Amino acid sequence: MDAVSTAPALSADRLSKHFGDRVAFQDVSFEIGYGEVFGFLGPNGAGKTTTVRTLGTLLTPTSGTASVAGLPLTPDNGVEIRRRISIMPESPGLYLRLTVLENLRCFADLYQVPTATKRIEQVLSAVHLTDRAHDACGALSKGLRQRVALARALLNDPQVLFLDEPTSGLDPVAARGVHDLIDELRQRGVTIFLTTHRLDEAERLCDRVAILNTTLRTIGRPDQLRDELFARTLTVRTAVPLAAPDRVFGSVTGVSSWHENDLTTYVLTVDDPTQAAPAVTRALVQADADVLSINPSHHSLEDVYLELIDVPAGQP
């Protein structure tokens, strides 16, 4: 068990997958620890699903190496890896003629779940579908099918859970339910590899995110990525233009530079907004300025994403 907890739950080293001439993803490297929720972001066709399928032993990588749930990703380890992980694919792929219960029963048997009946009850209640257990899957809405697929992925209590856009097509309440479930799984130490187009979701749920567009563009904590990419700023608005802005801002410690956006808006580059803001306020009061507002800059993960996604591969 010790070996398991020190080794990464999931790692890739220069992993690539090509379909003939088309590159699905190239030179992807990362390490994900046990219990981490890892967001995998990228535009359509970036290679997210292909990465999930490759790590999930469904596709053979063209080059590079990887380890999944503590095992090297090799054809010989396929069965054992699949025992330790589960994948909720992009489309649910349920047997529509069978009921929810029958679908889950089949997969519980395929995973050799010891107390299948009890486990099925647990996963059904985890996705709030207990009352639909006896409905044919063909009679369920898209969102409900999605939840059955999620329940199915929980059956074997996986060490690593791959979720390929789990909340696409879910209503806000159901999406919140999935988010809560992911939080709960994280607390139980399940490693989650989450692909999503919803940046708010990634920002809220993920310990770290990677941004992929065929090649990996960046990887890190959402707040760390923001800091790396965007200078921290304070925006000061005044009622009338300052007489001598240079004198006011130039002397404040923690302000490294400033510029005027328009006559009454000043953008200050600061090291730490929480320390600089009170000092700037004092300086403005001393200068008798009519201050309307002082705001720290806010960059979302979306800004990071949009900034990075168009950078051609190979550039920092």
Partner 1 sequence: MTVNPRLVRAIVAKELREFRRNRSLVVGMAIVPIIFSIQPLVAVFTLTTSASEPLRHEHVLLYMLGIPALVPSLVASYSVVGEREQGTLEPLLTTPIRREELLLGKALATFIPGVVVAYAVFGLFVACVELFAQPGVAAALIHPSDLIAQLLFTPLLAGWSIWVAIVISTRSNDIRVAQQLSTLASLPSVALTTLISLNVIDVSLLTAVITAVVLILLNRIGWRVASALFDRERLILGTKA
Ligand X SMILES: Nc1ncnc2c1ncn2[C@@H]1O[C@H](COP(=O)(O)OP(=O)(O)OP(=O)(O)O)[C@@H](O)[C@H]1O
Phi and psi dihedrals of 298, rounded to 5? -125, 115
Of positions 47, 64, 222, 273, contacts ligand X by CB under 6 A: 47
Measured from the CB atom, the residue of 99 and 214 that comes closer to ligand X is: 214
Which uninterrupted H or E stretch holds 210?
A: strand 208-213
Size of the site for ligand X (CB under 6 A): 11
Of positions 49, 146, 156, 159, contacts ligand X by CB under 6 A: 49
Of positions 10, 41, 46, 211, contacts ligand X by CB under 6 A: 46
Contact by Cβ (8 Å): 133, 147:
no
Phi and psi dihedrals of 151, rounded to 5? -60, -40
The DSSP-derived string for 153-182 is: HHTT--SEEEEESTTTT--HHHHHHHHHHH
Measured from the CB atom, the residue of 49 and 86 that comes closer to Mg ion is: 49
Query: Quick check: 24 binds ligand X (CB under 6 A)?
Result: yes
Size of the chain, expressed as the number of residues it contains:
316
Which uninterrupted H or E stretch holds 117?
A: helix 116-126
What residue type is 78 in one-letter code?
Answer: G
Restricted to residues 75-114, the positions that interact with partner 1 (CB under 8 A) are 79-80, 82-83, 86-87, 89, 91-98, 102, 106-107, 109-112
Query: Quick check: 22 binds ligand X (CB under 6 A)?
Result: yes
Sign of CA dihedral 33, 217, 56, 44: positive
Query: Quick check: 42 binds ligand X (CB under 6 A)?
Result: yes
Pairing of strands 22-32, 37-41: unpaired
307 binds, among partner 1, Mg ion, ligand X, none (CB under 5 to 8 A by kind): none
Of positions 5, 19, 285, 302, contacts ligand X by CB under 6 A: 19
Query: Quick check: 45 binds ligand X (CB under 6 A)?
Result: yes
- Alpha-carbon gap, residue 144 to 315, rounded angstroms: 42
Measured from the CB atom, the residue of 79 and 239 that comes closer to partner 1 is: 79
CA neighbours closer than 13 Å in the CB half-sphere of residue 51? 34
Residues near Mg ion (CB under 5 A) are 48-49
Summarize as ranges the residues that interact with partner 1 (CB under 8 A).
19, 53, 56, 58-60, 79-80, 82-83, 86-87, 89, 91-98, 102, 106-107, 109-112, 149, 152
Chain residues that interact with ligand X, rule: CB under 6 A: 19, 22, 24, 42, 44-50
